[in-house]
Structure formats: structure tokens, C-alpha cells
């Protein structure tokens, strides 16, 4: 069941989306060599709470943090820990805020200090593929059209797409129908319609698409231990096209020199 949102509900969804975007802008200032991912988690919890939001990942199906932390080969759902970030790492921060009864979900992969060209290119292509997906998400198109656009963009540049995890609808719940995969055939799946709210979140691997999930059932890494990047926006179909409710602007304002 896909819950379409009214224009009024979409206006309310902008509230958690704005808080989430600002939270990520705050975190951007802290991502540097030597910081622990637990510290980042603490900052996020405080920032969300201080601004009337709730960290929706914390306790979700037992998840132990406010942030999902994705260092290098970690694809998704890594736990915050006492491990320090190191120069040359990439770290995806994926998190969900609840406010006014609605959710917003967003991910950004950051460079820790200077990163090599291969990681820079992986992050750039992954970020671009998110916008390619957004561009394909017009009213009347099918989910398969979005998925295929992302897949084609990344694979033509030599990367692979994780298939076991996908984007999703969003609203009062973090995960609603429909599923939004990052691979697949054009012309299949549900049609995008006015009021649909979805998260598009390509997870792109430098090497093979295969993943391994840890015994705790959460933490997911590439099988070949090559890096993976991940970006995500929460979007609403308004006036015939997908409009991002979340934004990377606060991140890029916070770290203009490290945005490549
Ligand atoms: N963007 C992630 C997802 O859609 C957020 C997961 S939060 C968690 O799966 F609590 F499930 F980890
Ligand atoms: Co998501």
C-alpha cells in the first residue's frame, strides 16, 4: 500500500527534512581524522533533540545508534563505535529524523581529510547517480525507470550496484512502499504519482556488487573489501517531478573546500 501525501502533509515533511539537512551540515564540521564515530553519533543525537527532533534509527529493530556509519568497505548499517576516522577514509553517514509525526532520511559520504582519486571519483559518480535517479522520477514514470537510470549511469563508469538493499517510500514510517531499487529494467514497477514520497539511495561499489552481512544481522560490507559510497535524499513528487525535501546545501556550505 503506497500512502500518497497531501500537499499539507508534504509541507509538514519539510520540517524533519530541514532538521536532518542541518544535522548533516553540523556533522560535516566534525568529520576529520581522529574523531570517533561515537562522537559523531553523540553530536547528532544532541543536535536533533535540541531542535525538537527524534533520532529514528536509534532502537529501530534494535539498531544501536542514531547514525548508520559506513567507513570505506562498509556499505550500510554500520554501528557507531570508538574507532577513529583516518586520513584517506570515506565515511557515509546515513540517518533518519522524526519530527511532527513524519520522517526524513538522508545519507552523505564524506571524505576524511585528503582522499585518493579513485575514492573521489566513486563518491562523485554515486552522488551524480542520485540526481540522475531524481531526474528520472517524473510523474507517470515507473520505479524501474528510476532504477535503470541509476544502474546504467554507474555501470557505464565501471562501478557496480548493491542489489540486496534499496530505497523506499517514506512518511509517517521510515520504510513505506514502494521499494526503490538501484538496478532493474525500465517499464516495470509502480508508477510515480503526485504525492508519492520516496527515498532514492544508490549504494555503489568500486569492485564487485557482492556484500557480506555481519553476524549481528546489520553491518554490511563489500565482499572484496573495496570501497562503497552511498548518498540519499527524501523526495516528494510535486508538480509532476521529484523534488528533494532534504538538501546537501548545509554540508557544502560547511565544507566548501572538501566538496569534490
Ligand atoms: N537509510 C537507511 C535505510 O533506509 C536508514 C536505516 S536506519 C536503521 O535503511 F535504523 F535501520 F539503521
Ligand atoms: Co533510506
6 φ, ψ (degrees, to nearest 5): -75, 160
How much is the average pLDDT of 144-162?
98
**Which region, left, alpha or beta, applies to residue 87 given φ > 0 means left and ψ of -120 to 50 means alpha?**
beta
List pLDDT tens digits, range 216-234: 999 999 999 999 999 999 9
- Order of all β-strands in the sheet with 160-161: 160-161, 203-205, 228-230
pLDDT for 79 beyond 60: yes
Q: In CATH, what number does 7-254 get?
A: 3.90.230.10
The verdict on the CB of residue 77 being under 6 Å from ligand 1 is yes
Nearest CA to ligand 1 atom 11: 57
Pair type for strands 54-55 and 203-205: unpaired
Q: Which atom of ligand 1 is nearest to the CA of 167?
A: 4
Number of residues written out for the chain: 260
List pLDDT tens digits, range 115-146: 999 999 999 999 999 999 999 999 999 999 99
Out of 17, 44, 174, mutate this one to test ligand 1's pocket (max ligand atoms within 8 Å of CB): namely 174
- Give the model's confidence band at 258: pLDDT under 50 very low, under 70 low, under 90 confident, else very high: confident
Spatial distance between the Cα atoms of 114 and 148, rounded to a whole number of angstroms: 32
Contact 170, 5 (CB under 8 A): no
Q: What's the angle, vertex CA 180, arms to CA 175 and CA 185, rounded to 5?
A: 160
How much is the average pLDDT of 147-153?
99
The verdict on the CB of residue 94 being under 6 Å from ligand 1 is yes
Å from CA of 77 to ligand 1 middle: 7
What is the pLDDT of the chain when averaged over all its residues? 98
Which contacts qualify for 1-6: CB closer than 8 Å, 24 or more apart? 1/177, 2/169, 2/176, 2/177, 2/178, 2/190, 2/196, 3/169, 3/171, 3/172, 3/176, 3/177, 4/193, 4/194, 4/195, 4/196, 5/171, 5/195, 5/196, 5/197, 5/236, 6/195
Give the DSSP per-residue string, 181-217: -SS--TT-SPBP-TT-EEEE--EEESS-S-EEE-TTS
H or E stretch including 237?
strand 233-238
The verdict on the CB of residue 237 being under 6 Å from ligand 1 is no
- Give the model's confidence band at 257: pLDDT under 50 very low, under 70 low, under 90 confident, else very high: confident
List pLDDT tens digits, range 175-219: 999 999 999 999 999 999 999 999 999 999 999 999 999 999 999
Kindly state the percentage of the chain with pLDDT values over 70. 99
Spatial distance between the Cα atoms of 142 and 178, rounded to a whole number of angstroms: 11
Out of 96, 106, 167, 233, mutate this one to test ligand 1's pocket (max ligand atoms within 8 Å of CB): namely 96
Kindly state the percentage of the chain with pLDDT values over 90. 98
How much is the average pLDDT of 110-115?
98
- Give the model's confidence band at 8: pLDDT under 50 very low, under 70 low, under 90 confident, else very high: very high
List of residues 6+ apart from 21 with CB closer than 8 A: 106, 246, 247, 248, 249, 250
Q: Which atom of ligand 1 is nearest to the CA of 68?
A: 12
Q: Which atom of ligand 1 is nearest to the CA of 60?
A: 10
Every domain of the chain and the residues it spans: 7-254
Q: Which atom of ligand 1 is nearest to the CA of 106?
A: 1
Q: Which residues pair with 243 in a beta bridge?
A: 236
Return the C-alpha cell found at 217. 544481522
Q: Which residues pair with 237 in a beta bridge?
A: 242
Spatial distance between the Cα atoms of 259 and 50, rounded to a whole number of angstroms: 27
Out of 57, 70, 97, 98, mutate this one to test ligand 1's pocket (max ligand atoms within 8 Å of CB): namely 57
Which listed ligand is nearest to 80 at the C-alpha? 1
Return the C-alpha cell found at 14. 519539510
pLDDT for 260 beyond 60: no
The verdict on the CB of residue 103 being under 6 Å from ligand 1 is no
Q: Per the confidence metrics, is the pTM higher than 0.85?
A: yes
Q: Which residues pair with 106 in a beta bridge?
A: 95
Amino acid at each position: 500500500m503506497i500512502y500518497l501525501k497531501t500537499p499539507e502533509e508534504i509541507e509538514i515533511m519539510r520540517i524533519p527534512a530541514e532538521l536532518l539537512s542541518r544535522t548533516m551540515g553540523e556533522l560535516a564540521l566534525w568529520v576529520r581524522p581522529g574523531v570517533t564515530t561515537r562522537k559523531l553519533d553523540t553530536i547528532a543525537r544532541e543536535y536533533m533533540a535540541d531542535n525538537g527532533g527524534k533520532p529514528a534509527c536509534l532502537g529501530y529493530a534494535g539498531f544501536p545508534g542514531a547514525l548508520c556509519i559506513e567507513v570505506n568497505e562498509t556499505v550500510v548499517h554500520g554501528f557507531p563505535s570508538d574507532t577513529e576516522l583516518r586520513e584517506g577514509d570515506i565515511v557515509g553517514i546515513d540517518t533518519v529524523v522524526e519530527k511532527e509525526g513524519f520522517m526524513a532520511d538522508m545519507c552523505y559520504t564524506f571524505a576524511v581529510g585528503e582522499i585518493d582519486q579513485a575514492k573521489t571519483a566513486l563518491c562523485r559518480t554515486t552522488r551524480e547517480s542520485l540526481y540522475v535517479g531524481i531526474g528520472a522520477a517524473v510523474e507517470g514514470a515507473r520505479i524501474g525507470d528510476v532504477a535503470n537510470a541509476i544502474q546504467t549511469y554507474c555501470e557505464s563508469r565501471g562501478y557496480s550496484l548493491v542489489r540486496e538493499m534499496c530505497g523506499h517510500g517514506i512518511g509517517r514510517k521510515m520504510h513505506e512502499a514502494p521499494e526503490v531499487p538501484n538496478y532493474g529494467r525500465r517499464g516495470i514497477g509502480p508508477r510515480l504519482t503526485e504525492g508519492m514520497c520516496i527515498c532514492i539511495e544508490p549504494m555503489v561499489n568500486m569492485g564487485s556488487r557482492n556484500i557480506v552481512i555481519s553476524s549481528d544481522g546489520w553491518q554490511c560490507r563489500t565482499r572484496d573489501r573495496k570501497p562503497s559510497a552511498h548518498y540519499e535524499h527524501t523526495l516528494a513528487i510535486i508538480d509532476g517531478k521529484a523534488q528533494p525535501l532534504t538538501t546537501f546545501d548545509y554540508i557544502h556550505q560547511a565544507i566548501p573546500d572538501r566538496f569534490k
